[in-house]
Structure 1
Amino acid sequence: MKRILIFLTIILLSGMSGYSQILKPITWSYAAKKTSAKEVTLYMKASLEKGWHLYAQKVGEGGPVATSFYFPVSKLYDLLGRTVEPQPIKKFEPVFMMEVSYFETTAVFQQKVKLKGKQATVKGSIKFMVCNDKQCLPPSEVFFSIPIK
């Protein structure tokens, strides 16, 4: 009898493990390229699984969470302007009852930086939200550190 209970418990637990998958439909990668002796362009690339999309930096009130970049103040560099994004797709989404701007497959965001010395490490975070045609994941935040030499 004990063997049967143990066997049934193992089968039930192994069947439930398929339902506890953590979805990670987006990955971020980072790079920096010097454009002059003191200026650098940072690249923050979002790669999305098929069917998922990432919202743009400007989203209307009542819509999804917009992608936002945070760079703490540093003695090693200054930001030059705002973070630039590629041209987003614009589409009416019935879930939000509004037109939204988003990216599919990939999106490369760029931030220009002016160095105060010869090198620095730019740290910051990205807050974002991803959805597909069936669900939206809760807003997430990733932290990054981009060395500049």
Structure 2
Amino acid sequence: MKKLSVLVAYILLTLTVSAQIKTPVKWSYAAKKLNDQEAVVLIKATIEKGWHIYSQHIEPGGPVPTSFSFTSSGDYATDGETSEPKGINHFEKVFDMDVIYFENEVVFQQKLKLNKPATTVKGTVEFMVCNDKECLPPDEVSFNIPIK
């Protein structure tokens, strides 16, 4: 019976180690206040070597594009679309289409109109990360960005 318990414990430990969650993207946030009525929030993805995330501008049938959702608030309003730098345009066989993606790091920017000089911008970013061997399921991360 003791040998069976040791065997079960070993199998569970092996499964736990092999099923560790991969997190090749780390997110960080900042805000730059332009004046009492305007600010820009900066949403930065730091991506492990060999991995990439996708642009917001992906045609249907491809990978999940990066997208931003800002929580409605009387303190602020988004001003235009979230901007992104020029990405890498590449044909991906798995999707049978050209896609735009980012490696290493990318900073997205969202302009805001402020109704209060100090507030906290809340929302989520949804993204998909892939490398040359696999794609992880889409993930969603919440953010809270103070503007002072």
Coarse TM-score class (shorter-chain normalised)? over 0.9
More off after superposition, 17-26 vs 99-108: 17-26
Distance 1:71 1:5 in 2: 52
Aligned-partner Cα distance in 1 for 2:41–2:124 = 13
Give the 5 Å matches for 1:40-55.
40-55=39-54
Residues 1:78 and 1:8: Cα distance change in structure 2 (over 3 Å): closer
Map of 1:53-68 to 2, 5 A cutoff?
53-68=52-67
**Percentage of identical aligned residues:** 51
SS of equivalent to 1:35: strand
Question: Does the 8 Å contact 2:44/2:105 carry over to 1?
Answer: yes
Structure 1 residue 141, shift from structure 2 partner = 1.1
Structure 2 alignment gaps of length 5 or more: none
Structure 1 runs of 4+ off > 6 angstroms? none
Number of corresponding residues: 148
Answer with 1 or 2: which has the greater Rg.
1
* Per-residue deviation, residues 68-107 of structure 1 (Å, max 9, x unmatched): 1111322111211110001100000000000000000101
Does the CA-based 8 Å contact 2:42-2:109 persist in structure 1? Answer: yes
1:39-118 matches, cutoff 5 A: 39-118=38-117
**Matches of 1:52 and 1:115 in 2, distance apart?**
36
CA RMSD between the two structures: 1.3
Amino acid across the alignment from 2:22: L
Equivalent pair of 2:55/2:102 in contact (CA under 8 Å): yes
Residue 120 of structure 1 is matched in structure 2 by 119
Aligned pair 1:131/2:121, yes or no? no
Distance in 2, matches of 1:42 and 1:72, equals 14
Structure 1 residue identity aligned to 2:41: L
Gaps of 5+ in 1: none
**Aligned equivalents of 1:73 and 1:8: distance in 2?**
53
